[in-house]
């Protein structure tokens, strides 16, 4: 087994849903070059524990999940703070600009344009 086959992203691809932290545990022996392995798989899950070969086959899907998560996190972190957004909305309302010409819309659009969804 090569390191990383038991990654959360590949397990998400296998399950078709977010990684259920309370139902699966991925472990290693604590060394950076150690092999990951599934140390706990809840019997409550609809699918049985995947084999190493099944997870190896999900490399592309797992990589896509990682890329999409990174993109979403970057986008989320670039939005203005909620207090700033509310202030922009207040000023836009006062100026009668609750359309694409308002400052709130421009700020949000800039983040969305710079970080398109995959």
Q: Could you read off the pLDDT of 17-69 as tens digits, one per residue?
A: 999 999 999 888 666 555 688 999 999 999 999 998 999 999 999 999 999 99
Name the residue among 20, 67, 10 with its Cα closest to residue 44.
Answer: 20
Instruction: Give me the mean pLDDT over the 93-116 stretch.
Output: 95
Instruction: Give me the mean pLDDT over the 91-118 stretch.
Output: 94
Name the residue among 41, 48, 116 with its Cα closest to residue 78.
Answer: 116
Bridge partners, 26 (sequence order): 38
Better-scored residue on pLDDT, 4 or 11: 11
Q: Residue 2: which pLDDT band, with cuts at 50, 70 and 90?
A: very low
Q: Is the pTM of this model over 0.85?
A: no
Domain ranges of the chain: 1-72, 79-118
Q: Which residue has the tokens 């190493």?
A: 52
């Amino acid at each position: 087994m090569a390191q990383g086959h038991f990654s959360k992203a590949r397990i998400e691809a296998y399950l078709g849903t977010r990684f259920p932290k309370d139902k699966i545990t991925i472990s290693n022996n604590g060394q950076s070059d150690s092999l990951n392995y599934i140390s706990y798989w809840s019997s409550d899950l609809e699918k049985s524990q995947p084999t190493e070969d099944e997870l190896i086959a999900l490399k592309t899907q797992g990589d896509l999940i990682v890329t999409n998560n990174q993109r979403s996190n970057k986008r989320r972190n670039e939005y203005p703070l909620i207090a700033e957004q509310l202030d922009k909305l207040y000023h836009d309302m006062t100026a009668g600009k609750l359309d694409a010409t308002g400052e709130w819309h421009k700020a949000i659009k800039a983040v969305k344009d710079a970080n398109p969804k995959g």
